[in-house]
Amino acid sequence: MTAHQRGALRTALLYLLFSVIWLQLVGYLLSSFFDKFVDKQHWLLINGYAWVLVSAGLIFLARVRIARCFAKTGQSADRERLRQAAAVFDCTREGVLVTDRNGLIVHVNRAFMAITGYEEDEVLGQRPNLFKSGRHGADFYRAMFTALAEVGEWSGEIWNRRKSGEIYPQWQTIRVIRDDDAKVSHYVAVFSDISAIKDSEHELAHLAHHDPLTGLPNRLLFSDRTEQALASAQLHKRGCALLLVDLDHFKNINDSLGHNVGDELLKRVAERFRGLFAPGVTLARLGGDEFAVLVENCSQPGQAAVLARRILDALKEPLRFDDHALFINASVGISLFPGDARSAGQLLRNADSALFKAKSAGRDGYALYTEELTAHAQQRVEIAFELRRALEQQELRVYYQPVHDLASSRLVGVEALVRWQHPSRGLVSPAEFIPIAERTGLIARIDAWVMDQACRQMCRWQQAGVALEFVAVNVSSRLFAHRELYDEVARVLHDTGLDPACLELEVTESAVMEDPEVALEQMYRLRELGVRLAIDDFGTGYSSLLRLKRLPVQKLKIDQGFVAGLPWDEDDVAIVRVIVALARSMGMQVHAEGIEQREQAAFLLEQACELGQGYWFGRPVPAPQLDWAHAPAIT
């Protein structure tokens, strides 16, 4: 009950109270007046009648008062409600449109005008099909009217047209309003503009299927497209090619120049690739530095090879950044449907095997999938299995390759290189099994064993009076950052009693740059043991000079790739000169590997490179076969 109604009730009760008092008063006056003329019995009867009549009248009056009062409050509540409804109607963010039973617009609110761009007087008396977008067919509207007729309500997503002509999505509910006779009187449509939601939905879908860095399709979308392409190729008896592209040594760029440069480089590479292909070709970034290209309607290996070449050539020009230019190469693996694979998964796996082959063949090239590659993959699994046995059965051997002082030509050190004396396959190269040992974790045992053997051998040589300055052993990048390496080196030195200054640890440049801070810490600890440190395969790892300067390293080993072109290849000559100058300025020794010709040794000597190693001096051999007296004349 409202406060107003409570007031009315109170007034009515006062009415009643006054009526009763009044009656008693009148009754008393009357009785004293009539007493003289009427006997007692008649008086009581008249008095009773009068009392009942007047009371009834008064009660009636009170009731009328109450009813009026309630009616009044009811009317004002209705008015209040209407006012509120009008305010809601006007202030709501949802557009509201009301039509009469004939479908002519009779009301619209402010939100309607804001959303559609129409003014009220432009739409009153019109039909809602004024907003039709043309996106929905007759079936759509038929279903809407059926729902309105049967259920009295319809809700759903509908595309309409604004006054500007722009088509937009809205979420709309239409309700049928009926009068007291249950006849349709109006239709009320309430709607909201959902273009923002649609945009974010679209954005989310895009994000789920695209790589945010390059904007290219991601692995998910690429797999999807491959599935579709294969289904369509099968149907139309056509072929497809999948090219897997991996940038060479990208990790080094990322590690040495930072992730921002790495990201920028990936974007630039993606742009270059994008410009290479016609619209029917899907280019995707599968992750990291791996891109994939799906070419429909391509059945000949030759066609795919032309595309691969185009990809490789696109990287021939350096990528220029603000203050520097970067060269990056790529390797490409190609697999064809239906020749090489019958499913999307297999196509991708086979392209990956071909990519592995391209990488192993020296990178910056492409390779087509062949069945042998699957055989190779199987062989890798077998090697991993057999390698365990090789360690237990002592099938590993340590070979030693001489290192000569270029100035005197004298043999001053050796590098220990592991070999596997396989019972049926003969002598297996470390290039074949070291990567597998690294993947399976066996490398720790192999490297520890080689170090132990090399140190023992060095002790034996020293005892035999051989004047050898050092024995170098290779440390896998997988072990380099680990604490166990320090413990292992300390243990071997302790067990063998070798002077630490005679042991040199070779770490590849990429291993150092993988995590330069950890590398630095590890190197300082190893230096405390007194061992020598050398950076192997120098020139391939994009070292940051600033970091290099901080490393407690005694030696840079120039990668044999740069020695091969000496002394004729201008680029190799320039690079070797720079490395020698660099090492000099940092107080490091320079050691060139892969010397196969006298001219190379002579050029290096001319550049003041101190040490040389290569087939021209001597191949890696078992310890007893080393020729201590061998000192070939360089000049």
Residues that bind ligand C2E (CB under 6 A): 401, 417-418, 429-431, 434, 447, 450, 474, 476, 506, 536-537, 560, 593-596, 613-615, 620
Decide whether 95 or 620 has the Cβ nearer to ligand C2E: 620
Helix (H) or strand (E) holding 508: strand 503-508
Is-contact 297 279, C-beta < 8 A? no
Burial 107-144 (b: 16+ CB within 10 A, else e): bbbebbbebbebeeeebeeeebeebebeebeeeeeeeb
Instruction: Examine residue 572 and tell whether it contacts Mg ion (CB under 5 A).
Output: no
Of ligand C2E, Mg ion, none, which one sits near residue 246, judging by CB under 5 to 8 A according to partner kind? Answer: none
Helix (H) or strand (E) holding 402: strand 396-405
Q: What is the 3-state secondary structure (H, E, C) of 587-614?
A: CCEEEECCCCCHHHHHHHHHCCCCEECC
Structure tokens given for 545: 């000079």
Of ligand C2E, Mg ion, none, which one sits near residue 248, judging by CB under 5 to 8 A according to partner kind? Answer: none
- Largest Cα–Cα separation, the chain: 171
Of Mg ion, ligand C2E, none, which one sits near residue 429, judging by CB under 5 to 8 A according to partner kind? Answer: ligand C2E
Is-contact 334 242, C-beta < 8 A? yes
Of ligand C2E, Mg ion, none, which one sits near residue 417, judging by CB under 5 to 8 A according to partner kind? Answer: ligand C2E
Q: Smallest distance from the beta carbon of 473 to Mg ion, in angstroms? A: 8
Q: Which window, 39-47, 118-126, 471-479, 495-503, contacts Mg ion (CB under 5 A)?
A: 471-479
Of ligand C2E, Mg ion, none, which one sits near residue 600, judging by CB under 5 to 8 A according to partner kind? Answer: none
Looking from the CA of 353 toward its CB, the CA atoms found within 13 Å total: 22
Structure tokens given for 143: 């279903």
Q: Smallest distance from the beta carbon of 341 to ligand C2E, in angstroms? A: 33
Of Mg ion, ligand C2E, none, which one sits near residue 594, judging by CB under 5 to 8 A according to partner kind? Answer: ligand C2E
First to last CA, the chain: 119
Q: Smallest distance from the beta carbon of 416 to ligand C2E, in angstroms? A: 6
| Integer Cα distance of 371 and 538 in angstroms | 36
Decide whether 95 or 567 has the Cβ nearer to ligand C2E: 567
Decide whether 504 or 536 has the Cβ nearer to ligand C2E: 536
Decide whether 386 or 536 has the Cβ nearer to Mg ion: 536
Of Mg ion, ligand C2E, none, which one sits near residue 476, judging by CB under 5 to 8 A according to partner kind? Answer: ligand C2E
Instruction: Examine residue 474 and tell whether it contacts Mg ion (CB under 5 A).
Output: yes
Binding mask 513-542 for Mg ion (x = CB under 5 A): -----------------------xx-----
Of Mg ion, ligand C2E, none, which one sits near residue 615, judging by CB under 5 to 8 A according to partner kind? Answer: ligand C2E
Decide whether 355 or 417 has the Cβ nearer to Mg ion: 417
Q: Smallest distance from the beta carbon of 435 to ligand C2E, in angstroms? A: 9
Q: Smallest distance from the beta carbon of 410 to ligand C2E, in angstroms? A: 18
Q: Smallest distance from the beta carbon of 581 to ligand C2E, in angstroms? A: 22
Q: Which window, 35-43, 56-64, 73-81, 468-476, contacts Mg ion (CB under 5 A)?
A: 468-476
Strands 621-622 and 611-612: unpaired
Of ligand C2E, Mg ion, none, which one sits near residue 596, judging by CB under 5 to 8 A according to partner kind? Answer: ligand C2E
What is 256-315 written as a DSSP string?
A: HH-HHHHHHHHHHHHHHHHTTS-TT-EEEEEETTEEEEEEES---HHHHHHHHHHHHHTT
Decide whether 189 or 450 has the Cβ nearer to Mg ion: 450
Decide whether 430 or 567 has the Cβ nearer to Mg ion: 430
Q: Smallest distance from the beta carbon of 258 to Mg ion, in angstroms? A: 26
| Integer Cα distance of 272 and 332 in angstroms | 15
| Integer Cα distance of 503 and 495 in angstroms | 14
Q: Is 385 exposed, middle or buried (0-12, 13-18, 19+ CB in 10 A)?
A: exposed
Instruction: Examine residue 504 and tell whether it contacts Mg ion (CB under 5 A).
Output: no
Q: What is the 3-state secondary structure (H, E, C) of 525-540?
A: HHHHHCCEEEEEEECC
User: CA gyration radius for the chain?
Assistant: 47
Q: Which of 94, 340, 352, 506 binds Mg ion (CB under 5 A)?
A: 506
Decide whether 352 or 504 has the Cβ nearer to ligand C2E: 504
Q: Smallest distance from the beta carbon of 439 to ligand C2E, in angstroms? A: 13
Q: Give the three-state DSSP class for 416.
A: strand
| Integer Cα distance of 571 and 293 in angstroms | 32
Decide whether 452 or 596 has the Cβ nearer to ligand C2E: 596
Q: Smallest distance from the beta carbon of 537 to ligand C2E, in angstroms? A: 6
Q: What angle do CA 74, 78, 81 make, to 5 degrees?
A: 135
Decide whether 289 or 447 has the Cβ nearer to ligand C2E: 447
Q: Give the three-state DSSP class for 188.
A: strand
Of 550, 546, 517, 515, which is closest to residue 533 (Cα–Cα)?
550
Q: Smallest distance from the beta carbon of 486 to ligand C2E, in angstroms? A: 16
Which single residue brings its beta carbon nearest to ligand C2E? 614
Q: Smallest distance from the beta carbon of 553 to ligand C2E, in angstroms? A: 15
Decide whether 102 or 394 has the Cβ nearer to ligand C2E: 394
Decide whether 285 or 555 has the Cβ nearer to Mg ion: 555
Is-contact 150 184, C-beta < 8 A? no
Decide whether 334 or 533 has the Cβ nearer to Mg ion: 533
Of ligand C2E, Mg ion, none, which one sits near residue 436, judging by CB under 5 to 8 A according to partner kind? Answer: none
Of ligand C2E, Mg ion, none, which one sits near residue 418, judging by CB under 5 to 8 A according to partner kind? Answer: ligand C2E
Of 507, 563, 499, 503, which is closest to residue 534 (Cα–Cα)?
507
| Integer Cα distance of 124 and 104 in angstroms | 7
Counting residues that bind Mg ion (by CB under 5 A) gives: 4
Which spans of this chain sit near Mg ion (rule: CB under 5 A)? 474, 506, 536-537
